[in-house]
Amino acid sequence: MGYERKRLSGVSVDEGIDYDMIEVVRFDSRVTSLSSVRKGIYRMSGTLGLICREDGSDFVVESNAELNQLEIVTLMRHVNDYQLRESISQETAAIRDAVLAAALIRITREHDFK
Amino acid sequence: MTQREIAEQSVPKSVNWLPYRFERLSSDEVLVSNIAGEWVLLDGQQFDQLATLSFADDDLVKLLLANHILITEDDRVSGRLLSLKLATRIRQLPELTGLHIFVVTLRCDHSCEYCQVSRKNSNSTEHDMSWDDAARALDIVFSSPSTNLKIEFQGGESLLNFELIKRVVVEAKRRNIDGSRNLSFVIASNLVPLNEEILTFALEHSIYFSTSIDGPEELHNSNRSRPGRNSYQLATDGIASIRKTLGDDYVSALMTTTERSLDQPEAIIDEYVRLGFNEVFLRFLSPYGHAVKTRAISRYGNRQWMDFYQRGLKYIIELNRSGTEVVEVLASIYLRKLLVNDCGGYVDLTTPTGAGLGALVYNYDGDVYASDEGRMLREMGDDSFKLGSVRTHRYKDLILSERFLDVVEDSYAPSSPMCSDCALEPFCGSDPVFHHSTQGDVTGFKPLSDFCERTMTLVPLLLRLYREDRFCRDLFTRWATR
């Protein structure tokens, strides 16, 4: 995982408006999932215009404006955190489903749903 | 489990994760919570141990086992305990629709700048609810499965249609003659029309009153204008009359934050204490109705309100520290979720949404809405949360309509973007009406959501106070268990 900055060709976001997109960071798709990258982008998109595209085996995050160092570090941290959450979710899926089902069965038995 | 019990446990050789979520609250502070709402605050180094399952700290392992974040390989009990806690947490789900709001009239003698209802002139009865519609609404009330039914009368000024209130109360009690429901009544009123007849009736039927006090007299009167500029005097006279006739517990008050309130949270709280109230609800101004037309809602932002709130909460804590017992209601709602696994009660902070599932609103014209805010939106020309009419729909038609179920599903926090991964989700809620109103989407775009920002700011604030201040720990426990 690393990042480099280069100015890419324009992206048409709305009719007649083109934005120059700037490459912000690349994630190796062999170790980082697309959903983690997307969630990281979503988390940052309150104030930033970010998109993701595939380039070979990389997921490339692009922005409509230069990001400062803190924003880039924050984005990378979010993506890493979402990657960890994904691992937790996958590894605990069976017990989570069992716990949820047991709780719902308990509630259903206690109430008369006519 | 107590700290001592945790410390006395032996450390197992092999542990695994139970389902948990985490959120970094600061550079060295991580909130970890599980699906039943149990939580721990870890520093960065402790969280790294959890994330890698390589523990250098035995006490940390014990803490995480006790809070069902970790499980040992041979543990056959923790999964059952977790499901029991989760069942307790969602036990209110089958108790659908306990709150039923009757908008008995839109007439009102006040012209408050923040009014979310779009009131009508007080001498015209064309905006009064008819008895026929009220009786049909009662059919729906008694079709809802909840054993606890609260009927709340709202307006306009509800007491301007007191004759209808009387008929509804008597008829509701007649229908509950077998006592199968716990029936209660609340009149939301500015108390101006209050008189002996109303008080006598309220005493006979144990009716509660909810009124508005925005703060000191000058602030209250400037927010809540009426002919004579005496809203404060009439409201406080009414409070005194209710207390004298029915008792202290039969009247409560709510405040609404306007731009003028922002620099005086202490004065507002002092006013509540002076008037003998032991709780204050520091509320955000909702983006509906007259508040939008008069731009009252756009005069301050979420950050300003949160500064106001934090200043107010700090002052309330200091009052308690010096012996004056007063509760901040919003904090107590969050704390019930955080400390005693109680997620019921406040419809704006539940998931699935409390709109419709927790409350139904019967408008003066017989239309039924999923929430009071949904009704307010209709007054602005947006009927997105109109579920039907008492004239044509039964309870099941309203609750099981495709339109409403879509709203419930689309706003369900555990499957919403960002919320589904958020460690604060068990302590937050879904507010599809707010997000529809502010963003045009019932799910809500959380990076720009005021609703999300409030929980993400206020819950960590409460957690830090709970952890770092022994007095707050005891105080918050009392607030959560009251």
Task: Look at residue A18 and tell me if it is in a domain.
Answer: yes
What is the pTM for the complete model shown? 0.91
The answer, yes or no, to whether the previous bond of B352 is cis (omega within 30 of 0) is: yes
- With CA atoms as reference, the chain A residue closest to B18 would be A92
Question: A32 vs chain B: nearest CA distance in angstroms?
Answer: 16
For residue A32, give its domain range: 7-110
Task: Look at residue A36 and tell me if it is in a domain.
Answer: yes
- How does pLDDT run across B7-61, given as a tens digit for each residue? 666 666 689 999 999 999 998 999 999 999 999 999 999 999 999 999 998 999 9
Residues of B in contact with A81 (CB under 8 A): 22, 24
Residue of A38, A81, A95 to mutate, interface with B, max B Cβ within 10 Å: A95
Question: A52 vs chain B: nearest CA distance in angstroms?
Answer: 17
Residues of B with CB under 8 A from a CB of A: 16-22, 24, 35-36, 51, 71, 79-80, 82-84, 86-87, 90-91, 93-94, 417-418, 421, 445, 447-448
Q: Tell me how far the alpha carbon of residue B47 is from its chain's centroid.
A: 32
Question: A76 vs chain B: nearest CA distance in angstroms?
Answer: 14
**Contact yes or no for B243/B209 (Cβ under 8 A):** no
Are A91 and B17 inside 8 Å of each other by CB?
Answer: yes
Task: Look at residue A2 and tell me if it is in a domain.
Answer: no
pLDDT grade, residue B116 (50/70/90)? low
Question: B110 vs chain A: nearest CA distance in angstroms?
Answer: 39
Residue of B25, B32, B35 to mutate, interface with A, max A Cβ within 10 Å: B35
- How does pLDDT run across B172-203, given as a tens digit for each residue? 999 999 999 999 999 999 999 999 999 999 99
- How does pLDDT run across B408-442, given as a tens digit for each residue? 999 999 999 999 999 999 999 999 999 998 899 99
Task: Look at residue A26 and tell me if it is in a domain.
Answer: yes
Alpha carbons B121 and B281: distance in angstroms, whole number: 29
Alpha carbons B431 and B417: distance in angstroms, whole number: 14
Distances (CA, A) of B186 to A88, B169, B250, B476: 47, 10, 9, 28
Alpha carbons B422 and B455: distance in angstroms, whole number: 11
pLDDT grade, residue B117 (50/70/90)? low
CA proximity to B425, closest of B353, B375, B351: B351
Q: Is the ipTM, as predicted for this complex, more than 0.90?
A: no
Residues of B in contact with A82 (CB under 8 A): 421
**Contact yes or no for B100/B149 (Cβ under 8 A):** yes
Q: Is B399 helix (H, G, I), strand (E, B) or coil?
A: helix
CA proximity to B310, closest of B334, B328, B325, B335: B328
* Total of domains in chain A: 1
pLDDT grade, residue A110 (50/70/90)? confident
Residues of A in contact with B84 (CB under 8 A): 103, 106
Domain at A100, CATH number = 3.30.70
Task: Look at residue A58 and tell me if it is in a domain.
Answer: yes
pLDDT grade, residue B93 (50/70/90)? confident
Task: Look at residue A96 and tell me if it is in a domain.
Answer: yes
Which letter, b or e, does each residue of B350-371 get, where b requires 16 or more Cβ atoms within 10 Å of its Cβ? bbbbbbbbbbbbbbbbbbbbbb
Q: Is B212 helix (H, G, I), strand (E, B) or coil?
A: strand
Report the percentage of chain A scoring pLDDT > 70: 81
Task: Look at residue A1 and tell me if it is in a domain.
Answer: no
pLDDT grade, residue B6 (50/70/90)? low
Alpha carbons A107 and B92: distance in angstroms, whole number: 9
Alpha carbons B189 and B200: distance in angstroms, whole number: 16
∠ CA B302-A79-A95 to the nearest 5 degrees? 95
CB-closest option in B71, B86, B448 to A103: B86
Task: Look at residue A56 and tell me if it is in a domain.
Answer: yes
Structural domains of chain B, ranges and CATH numbers in brackets? 3-89 (no CATH), 99-398 (3.20.20.70)
Residues of B in contact with A107 (CB under 8 A): 87, 90-91, 93-94
Distances (CA, A) of B269 to B272, B277, B294, B314, B395: 5, 10, 26, 11, 41
Are A42 and B90 inside 8 Å of each other by CB?
Answer: no
